[in-house]
């Protein structure tokens, strides 16, 4: 009996913290996974409690949970199963784990859950070359959580989902030396969004050719930044093959970079035009959403914009709907151009002030900027109407 007791390892972890950490893990771990190890998360004892680690082999997420754990405590748990258990269990102060060989028991209140499995903890893939390179990198800088969240919620709309051009499946982060700016850019070939900011100290060492942050990594980081009580500072570390985001002092996302070359977006960036209009983004969005109701569910989704003195009319090409909104134009700006209605709506949702529109010619890309945030530039390719 003494030998059995001595083999047991225990951990007592904060219920709310474990629930949040498990939810973080499940955003990375696929619910149905052909490789069993990637359906599990690692609970690793730490002096402060435990570290919850999950991966899909390309992204690692790590969240600290307060509590107590025995020296050497480690356990693999089916991430989604534990998430379901914690979601339905009554809230308690702590979850108590007992591991005895392959047998793992979680005690939540008066209920015990057996979570044992045959997978060895040593099989969990925490030793990878790209992770090792990232841990040794000295290229690190800090950025405010508010700026990162603003960037992600605007730039992410243009990330491509086309797998053949995999180098567009993410956000390019690069130091633009000539402008002395840190750029975040995404494009799907039909639209582009650029977020250009003053480089934080240390960011000037980011590659001028750019590194590409994968779409899934950007999505998970954005979700974390929307979480209530999230830290206002992020530490970003970059290597030749990976990028890490430390959110506050308890959540870490480490990710492989997209292995590819991002296109030279500067070549397609329109310059400021003599044909310029300005409109209240909220009113323009409402007018556009009203007009676009005629094409929801079918049709090409093309919206015709007709600029005349002081007016901007929207007409849905595939539907019998049109509406107008007031605009300010420079001189006698009169022009008609077609754009993807959904892209326009998504763009306008990211504008905080007035939307400034530069359109040199109906056949040329249009430039949209935010009067209250000069870091943002949106570019839309026109459509034939």
Distance between CA atoms of residues 376 and 196, nearest Å: 7
Question: Would you state the structure tokens that stand for residue 337, as one six-digit string?
Answer: 């151009």
* pTM (two decimals): 0.91
Among 165, 163, 159, which residue's Cα sits nearest to residue 186?
159
CATH number of 270-380: 3.10.150.10
Distance between CA atoms of residues 349 and 151, nearest Å: 13
Question: Would you state the structure tokens that stand for residue 165, as one six-digit string?
Answer: 């051009």
What share of residues in the chain are helix, strand, coil (percent, to 5)?
30, 40, 30
Distances in Å between the alpha carbon of 273 and those of 58, 207, 311?
Answer: 43, 31, 19
Which stretches of the chain drop beneath a pLDDT of 70?
1-7, 117-118, 228-231, 294-300, 317-321, 331-332
Q: What is the pLDDT of residue 319?
A: 58
Domain residue limits, the chain: 2-123, 129-267, 270-380
Asked if residue 39 lies in contact with residue 30, where contact means CB atoms within 8 angstroms, the answer is yes
Q: Which residue has the tokens 């243009």?
A: 158
Q: What is the pLDDT of residue 255?
A: 97
Q: What is the pLDDT of residue 185?
A: 98
CATH class of 129-267: alpha beta
Domain pair 129-267 / 270-380, same fold: yes
Q: What is the pLDDT of residue 331?
A: 61
Q: 70-74, long-range: CB within 8 Å, 24+ apart, which pairs?
A: 70/9, 70/10, 70/11, 70/45, 71/45, 72/9, 72/45, 73/9, 73/10, 73/11, 73/43, 73/44, 73/45, 73/97, 73/99, 74/9, 74/42, 74/43, 74/44, 74/45, 74/99, 74/121
Q: What is the pLDDT of residue 216?
A: 95
Say which CATH superfamily domain 2-123 falls into.
Answer: DNA Polymerase III, subunit A, domain 2 (3.10.150.10)
Name the CA radius of gyration of the chain, rounded: 25
Asked if residue 126 lies in contact with residue 74, where contact means CB atoms within 8 angstroms, the answer is no
């Amino acid at each position: 009996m003494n030998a059995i007791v001595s083999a047991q390892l225990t951990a007592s972890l904060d219920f709310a913290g474990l629930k949040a950490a498990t939810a973080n893990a499940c955003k990375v771990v696929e619910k149905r996974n052909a490789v069993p190890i990637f359906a599990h998360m690692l609970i690793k004892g730490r002096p402060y409690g435990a570290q919850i680690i999950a991966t899909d082999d390309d992204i690692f997420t790590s969240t600290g949970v307060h509590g107590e754990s025995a020296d050497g405590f480690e356990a693999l748990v089916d991430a989604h199963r534990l998430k379901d258990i914690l979601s339905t269990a009554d809230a308690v102060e702590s979850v108590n784990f007992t591991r005895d060989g392959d047998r793992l028991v979680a005690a939540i209140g008066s209920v015990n859950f057996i979570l044992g499995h045959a997978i060895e903890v040593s099989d969990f893939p925490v030793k990878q070359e790209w992770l090792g390179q990232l841990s040794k990198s000295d290229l690190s800088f800090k950025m405010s959580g508010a700026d990162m969240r603003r960037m992600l919620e605007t730039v992410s709309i243009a990330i491509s989902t086309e797998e053949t051009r995999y180098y567009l499946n993410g956000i390019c982060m690069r130091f633009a030396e000539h402008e002395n700016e840190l750029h975040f850019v995404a494009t799907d070939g039909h639209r582009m969004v650029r977020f250009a900011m003053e480089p934080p100290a240390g960011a000037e060492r980011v590659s001028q050719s750019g590194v590409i942050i994968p779409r899934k990594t950007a999505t998970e980081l954005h979700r974390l930044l929307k979480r209530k009580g999230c830290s206002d500072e992020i530490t970003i570390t970059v290597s030749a093959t990976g990028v890490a985001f430390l959110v506050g002092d308890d959540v870490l996302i480490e990710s492989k970079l997209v292995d590819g070359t991002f296109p030279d977006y500067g070549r397609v960036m329109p310059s400021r035009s003599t044909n310029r209009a300005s409109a209240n983004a909220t009113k323009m969005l409402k007018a556009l959403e009203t007009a676009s109701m005629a094409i929801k569910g079918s049709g090409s989704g093309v919206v015709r914009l007709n600029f005349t003195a002081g007016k901007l009319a929207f007409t849905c090409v595939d539907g019998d709907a049109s509406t107008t909104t007031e605009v300010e134009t420079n001189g006698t700006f009169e022009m008609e151009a077609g754009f993807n209605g959904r892209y326009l709506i998504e763009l306008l949702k990211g504008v905080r002030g007035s939307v400034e529109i530069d359109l040199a010619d109906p056949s040329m890309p249009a430039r949209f900027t935010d009067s209250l945030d000069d870091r943002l530039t949106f570019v839309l390719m026109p459509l034939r109407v």
